[in-house]
Every structure is written in structure tokens, then in C-alpha cells.
């Protein structure tokens, strides 16, 4: 069988079995996705986070303001379109949508701090490559209404707890403080003054950034630029006393929790609404796309989105595909595809009808029951039961119907037992529990 249709480049199907995408990357099976999602949910429950789900479609203006009009995402990577005078965008991230929803629904009125988490697809028109897709999935949290350093430390702790629960180690957490936008502005001036004399030695991209967004030069991967930056002024020297105390407290709390981090004075974010703590989590198994997650404080975002009062907030966003890459590189085994508790193999029309009724009755008891829907021979049905890794097969034919007892075969040993119809549910529930 075949079709000329293919999934869109930079997207992928999640299938019952793992498979390899057109870029040669292993794509996890749906059971593995469920396992990771269930782990995320469990960690969130333990940390007292509540789920929020927002639409995939958002107003383009929300993303332009929330992500920043000068960013690559807004300039080059939005899947945006117009319909009946409304500008839509497929969300490229989920922080701005969550803050929109928080403000729109006055979630602050629920009282206290809102600790929200999300899991869902995001869209960016980037050049697809390993770990970089056009439709990818993020999970993340937003802690809204909390200005205490404990909120920053807890945000990081939640991220580390998810990795820990999945069995992922070897992580590198980079940490920095951005202080306030006002300190940062002063710093940007100092950085520009420092870099100006080196302008001729900088790449064209960095020269452009020197004018518009010099902080991004700090991200450079070019060795000679990193060399120049070695003596550049550092942001921490421009950060005010209050921000420094905040940062020191966050670090102290992480030390208390035994969370390891490296301070990276070059870890910055260009947009004005980012404040104080910023962090990025990396895994060596990811290669070029080393970032597993990123986050930090964004105390000024709510106002950028129109709030008349500030909402101190901190959060992170992690990439699910990157998580799978890291888990794969670390040889962490995830959940197997679920297999049936029992396969019902029926021969003859009457037995098929009995089998169908019985399958439904067993399913109502919570058992995972498979059966044949192709009218195949007994031999072919037994083969199918094996392929599906069912530990037991229940065989029904004319003799069994007459005796009102099914033949239950334990597939591994080949041992068979006659089980009366009225004892089947009890028998199979017991064997499924001990399996």
C-alpha cells in the first residue's frame, strides 16, 4: 500500500512503534511519549502545579509583543496568516499565551500564586535539522504572582525533578542574573563601548547586532569572538544590590537542594521584560542543539501584554523532542508498547460472536483484550497473538462452546487449561494481575 502524500518537512508522526525520521533521528513511540508526559504530570502534581491548556491559534499581535518584534521567531519563523481581517499565528511558544490567559480570566482572583504547567505543540518555521522541528512539543511551567527567590529556585527544581524522574543525568545547568532592564541598559552601553574598537574583527552578523542588540553577541559560537569577549565587561558588575541579593538567595536555595549549576555571565536574553534569574539546561547528547530547556524571570511581561499592574513571574520551557534525544543518547529505556492481557482466537461464526461478547465483558472489567477482525484461520490467529505478545490466548471453537469452557493457552510455556465460561473473568483478571 502507498500514497504520494508525506508529512510536512520538519514535522513527524508519532507511531505505535519507534521509527527513524527522514533526518535519521529516532522518533519515539506513542507509549514512550505517554510515559514522558505521565512523568511530567506526576512531577507537576508533586510540586503542586495545575494544568493549563491554551489554543494552538493565538492573535499574531500577542506573539509579536510577547516574544518580541525584534526576535528571529517573530521576524522569520512565525506560521501566521490572515482570515476575515483577523491575524492568526500558530503559537511558537506557550508563555505569552499563558500570561494572556491569566490576565484575561483574572486568575489572580483565585488567590495566592498561580503555579501552572502545560504540555503541547509549538510551531516555528525554522530550517529543520536534528532536534529542530517546525512542529515540536514543549512542556513548561509559569509561576505567576511570586517575586520571591524561592519561586525561581522551585522553577529550576521542577525542571531538574522531571529529568531525574526520567533517569536523565549528565546535565549542565547554566545560571545568570539579568538584573533589571535599567541595569541592563547601562551594561549594553558599556558592552558597545568595549566592542566598538573590535568592530572590524567581528562577523557581519555580530556587527549588525552591535547596533541593534549587542547582548546577542555574547551568544556567539565563533572562537575568535569568544576570545574578544573574554575581557568584556560582565553584566553582574552592573546589577544593583537588590538583584544581587535575589540572585545570591536563588543560588543558596539551589545549594540547599543539591542542584548543581555553573554560573555563566554570558547567558543573557535580549528582551526588556526578562529580569533577574535566567537559566538554560544542556545535555551533551544533544550536539549542536544542546539546549534542553530555558527559562527565568520575566517580571515585566504582563505589562507588555497590557496589564495595568506588574505580575512578577518565573518559568521554564523544555523541548520534548530534545528530551527524547538526550534519553536516547543516554540509553535510557522508556515504557514498552502495551501488550494485550489476552488474545481471543475464535473459530466459526458462533464462536466469533461468543468471543466478541466475551471480549467486551472482559474489557468492561478493565482487561486489555485483542481479537481477530479478519476471519482468519486458527493458525493465523495464534500467529497474530504471538506477534502482539499476548501472554494468554483463549481458544474458542465448537467443542468449547458445547463444553461451556474455553481453552486458555499460556503462550510462553504452551500449557493449556480448560476454564469454564463462568470462571473466565476471575481467571483472566487473576493472571493479568500476576503477569
- Closest separation in Å from C-beta 267 to ligand AMP: 12
Burial 40-51 (b: 16+ CB within 10 A, else e): beebbeebebee
Rounded to whole angstroms, what are the CA distances from 266 to 262, 292, 334, 400, 409? 12, 18, 35, 74, 64
Closest CB 308 distance from ligand AMP, rounded Å? 27
Give the number of other Cβ atoms within 10 Å of residue 169's Cβ. 11
Straight-line distance from the first to the last Cα atom of the chain, in angstroms, rounded to the nearest whole number: 37
User: Of these, 58, 299, 321, 341, which contacts ligand AMP (CB under 6 A)?
Assistant: 321
76-81 contact pairs (CB < 8 A, 24+): 76/125, 77/124, 77/125, 77/126, 78/124, 78/125, 79/123, 79/124, 79/125, 79/134
Q: Which stretch binds ligand AMP (CB under 6 A): 99-107, 190-198, 316-324, 425-433?
A: 316-324
Nearest CB to ligand AMP, comparing residues 178 and 195: 178
Give the residue among 288, 294, 330 at the shortest CA–CA distance from 129: 288
Q: For ligand AMP, which residue of 141, 162, 292, 325 counts as binding (CB under 6 A)?
A: 292
What's the CA gap between 218 and 215, in Å, rounded?
A: 6
Tell me how far, at minimum, the Cβ of 169 lies from ligand AMP, in Å: 18
By CB under 6 A, tell whether 291 contacts ligand AMP. yes
State yes or no: residue 257 binds ligand AMP (CB under 6 A). Answer: no
Task: Please pick, from the candidates 49, 118, 133, 247, the single residue that binds ligand AMP as defined by CB under 6 A.
Answer: 133
Q: How far is the CB of 1 from ligand AMP (least distance, A)?
A: 31
Q: Cα angle vertex 195, ends 191, 197, to 5°?
A: 140
Of the residues 91, 124, 251, 409, which one makes contact with ligand AMP according to CB under 6 A:
124
Q: How far is the CB of 408 from ligand AMP (least distance, A)?
A: 47
Binding segment for ligand AMP among 98-106, 130-138, 176-184, 195-203 (CB under 6 A)? 130-138
Q: Does 269 bind ligand AMP (CB under 6 A)?
A: no
Which residues form the interface with ligand AMP (CB under 6 A)? 93, 124, 126, 131-133, 136, 138, 291-294, 317-319, 321-322
Amino acid at each position: 500500500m502507498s500514497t504520494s502524500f508525506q508529512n510536512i518537512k520538519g514535522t513527524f508522526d508519532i507511531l505505535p512503534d519507534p521509527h527513524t525520521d527522514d533526518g535519521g533521528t529516532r522518533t519515539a513511540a506513542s507509549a514512550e511519549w505517554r510515559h514522558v508526559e505521565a512523568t511530567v504530570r506526576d512531577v507537576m502534581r508533586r510540586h503542586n502545579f495545575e494544568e493549563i491548556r491554551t489554543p494552538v491559534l493565538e492573535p499574531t499581535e500577542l506573539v509579536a509583543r510577547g516574544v518580541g518584534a525584534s526576535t528571529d521567531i517573530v521576524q522569520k519563523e512565525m506560521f501566521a496568516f490572515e482570515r476575515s481581517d483577523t491575524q492568526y499565528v500558530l503559537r511558537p511558544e506557550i508563555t505569552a499565551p499563558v500570561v494572556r490567559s491569566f490576565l484575561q480570566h483574572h486568575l489572580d482572583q483565585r488567590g495566592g500564586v498561580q503555579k501552572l504547567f502545560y504540555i503541547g505543540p509549538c510551531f516555528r518555521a525554522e530550517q529543520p535539522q536534528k532536534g529542530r522541528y517546525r512542529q515540536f512539543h514543549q512542556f513548561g511551567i509559569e509561576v505567576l504572582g511570586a517575586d520571591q527567590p524561592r519561586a525561581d529556585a522551585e522553577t529550576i527544581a521542577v525542571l531538574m525533578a522531571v529529568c531525574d524522574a526520567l533517569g536523565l543525568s549528565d546535565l549542565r545547568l547554566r545560571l545568570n542574573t539579568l538584573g533589571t532592564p535599567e541595569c541592563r541598559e547601562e551594561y549594553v552601553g558599556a558592552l558597545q563601548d568595549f566592542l566598538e574598537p573590535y568592530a572590524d574583527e567581528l562577523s557581519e552578523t555580530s556587527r549588525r547586532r552591535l547596533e541593534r542588540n549587542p547582548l546577542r553577541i555574547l551568544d556567539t559560537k565563533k572562537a575568535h569572538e569568544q576570545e574578544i569577549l573574554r575581557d568584556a565587561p560582565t553584566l553582574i558588575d552592573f546589577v544593583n544590590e537588590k538583584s544581587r541579593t535575589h540572585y545570591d538567595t536563588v543560588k543558596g536555595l539551589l545549594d540547599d537542594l543539591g542542584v548543581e549549576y555553573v554560573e555563566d555571565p554570558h547567558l543573557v536574553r535580549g528582551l526588556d521584560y526578562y529580569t533577574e534569574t535566567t537559566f538554560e539546561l544542556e545535555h551533551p547528547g544533544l550536539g549542536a542543539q544542546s539546549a534542553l530547556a530555558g527559562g527565568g524571570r520575566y517580571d515585566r511581561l504582563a505589562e507588555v501584554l497590557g496589564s495595568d499592574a506588574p505580575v512578577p513571574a518565573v518559568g521554564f520551557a523544555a523541548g520534548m523532542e530534545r528530551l527524547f534525544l538526550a534519553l536516547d543518547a543516554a540509553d535510557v529505556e522508556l515504557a514498552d508498547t502495551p501488550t494485550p492481557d489476552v488474545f481471543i482466537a475464535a473459530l466459526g461464526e458462533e464462536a466469533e460472536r461468543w468471543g466478541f461478547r466475551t471480549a467486551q465483558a472482559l474489557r468492561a472489567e478493565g482487561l486489555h483484550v485483542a481479537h481477530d477482525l479478519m476471519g482468519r484461520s486458527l493458525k493465523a490467529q495464534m500467529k497474530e497473538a504471538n506477534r502482539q505478545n499476548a501472554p494468554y490466548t483463549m481458544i474458542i471453537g465448537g467443542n468449547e462452546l458445547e463444553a461451556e469452557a474455553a481453552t486458555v493457552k499460556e503462550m510462553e510455556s504452551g500449557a493449556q487449561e480448560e476454564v469454564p465460561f463462568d470462571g473466565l473473568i476471575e481467571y483472566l483478571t487473576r493472571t493479568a494481575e500476576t503477569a
